[in-house]
Amino acid sequence: MRKPIIAGNWKMNKTKREALDFTQEIKGLIPSTETVDAVVCSPALFLDALVNETEGTDLKIGAQNMYFEESGAFTGETSPEALADIGVSYVVLGHSERRELFGETDESVNQKVHASFKHNLTPIVCVGESLEQKEADETAQVVTEQVEKALNGLTDEQVKKTVIAYEPIWAIGTGKTASADDANDTCAVIREVVKSRFSEDAAQAVRIQYGGSVKPANINELLGKSDIDGALVGGASLDPQSFLQLVEAGNE
Ligand code: 13P
C-alpha cells in the first residue's frame, strides 16, 4: 500500500507574510506523516522561514525548482546543497511551466533528479502532454519518453523514493480535469514504464500524483483510483482550509 502524498504548488504566489499566515493556521492540523505526506512547495524566497515555522510538525516544505550544480557561477540559480542545508524536504522538477517558459529539458530534469538524491531531497518529477499531443493520441508516448529520460541512471532504491506527478498541460489552471479514469490510465502507463525500465518492486513503490485543476470537490474520485497516489495542486492549495481538505482526503 502506497502512502498518499498531497503537495501544494504555490507557483509565484504569496508574500512571506501570507505564506507564514497560511502555515501558522494549519501546521497543527495536518494528519501524521505516518498516514499521508503533506507538502507545500513555496517560492524560494521564503523556504527558510517556512521550514523554521513548520519544524517538528507534519507539514513538509518543498522547492519549485533548483539547479543541478552545487555551487559556482550560475547567476540567479538555487543550489540543491543550500536547499538541503536549510531543511527543505522536496523539490518539484520539470514542471510544465518551467519546460514551456524557461527552457527546461528532459536532460536537465534528469540532471536535477540525480542532484536531488545526492542531497537527500525527494524529487517530484512532473510529466504531461499538451492539448495538441492529447488530440493526436500521443499521451502515452509523450509521458513514456519523459519518464524514461527523467529517471535515466537512477537505482531501484532511488526510483522507489521518487514521486512522479502526471499533469496534463491542458488541465493546469483551466478548471478542466482529466476524467479520473483517463488520469488513472496514464498513471498506469507510467507505472508500467517504471516496471519495464527498473523492476516490479520499483513500480509498486513509486508514488504517482495527478495534477491539473484538483480541488476538494474532485480529489476523492481521483484518489479512489488504483494508480493515483496523490495530487499536485496549484490554485486550490493557496487557501489554507482548501489545502487542509485536500490533505484530509489523502488521509481517508
Ligand atoms: P492547478 O491545480 O491550478 O490546475 O495547477 C496544477 C499544477 O500545475 C500544479 O503543479
* Predicted confidence (pLDDT) per residue in 21-41, tens digit: 999 999 999 999 999 999 999
Q: Which of 66-80, 126-140, 172-186 has the lowest mean pLDDT?
A: 172-186
Whether the CA torsion 25, 235, 97, 4 is positive or negative: it is positive
Rounded to whole angstroms, the Cα distance separating 230 from 122 reads 15
* Per-residue buried b or exposed e for 4-27, using 16+ beta carbons within 10 Å of the residue's own CB: bbbbbbbbeebeeeebbebbeebb
Question: Residue 152's pLDDT is what?
Answer: 98
Res. 191: pLDDT tops 90: yes
pLDDT recorded at residue 177: 84
Q: What is the mean pLDDT of residues 152-180?
A: 95
d(CA 12, CA 20): 15
From the CA of 240, how far away is ligand 1's center (Å)?
A: 16
Per-residue pLDDT band at 178 (split at 50, 70, 90): confident
In the predicted structure, residue 47 carries a pLDDT above the cut 90: yes
On the question of pLDDT at 1 being above 90, the answer is no
Cα(185)–Cα(87) distance, integer angstroms: 35
- pLDDT recorded at residue 32: 96
For residue 41, the ligand 1 atom closest to its alpha carbon is 10
pLDDT grade for 176, boundaries at 50, 70 and 90: confident
Distance from the alpha carbon of residue 125 to the mean position of ligand 1, in angstroms = 14
Atom of ligand 1 nearest to the CA of 233: 2
pLDDT category, 53, cuts 50, 70, 90?
very high
User: In terms of C-beta density within 10 A (0-12 exposed, 13-18 middle, 19 or more buried), how is residue 188 classed?
Assistant: middle
Residue 107 CA to ligand 1 centre (angstroms): 23
Ligand 1 atom index nearest CA of 211:
6
129 belongs to the catalytic site: no
pLDDT > 90? residue 211: yes
pLDDT, tens only, 216-226 = 999 999 999 99
Is the CB of 95 inside a 6 Å radius of any atom of ligand 1?
Answer: yes
Percent of the chain with pLDDT over 90: 97
DSSP 77: -
163 lines ligand 1 (CB under 6 A): no
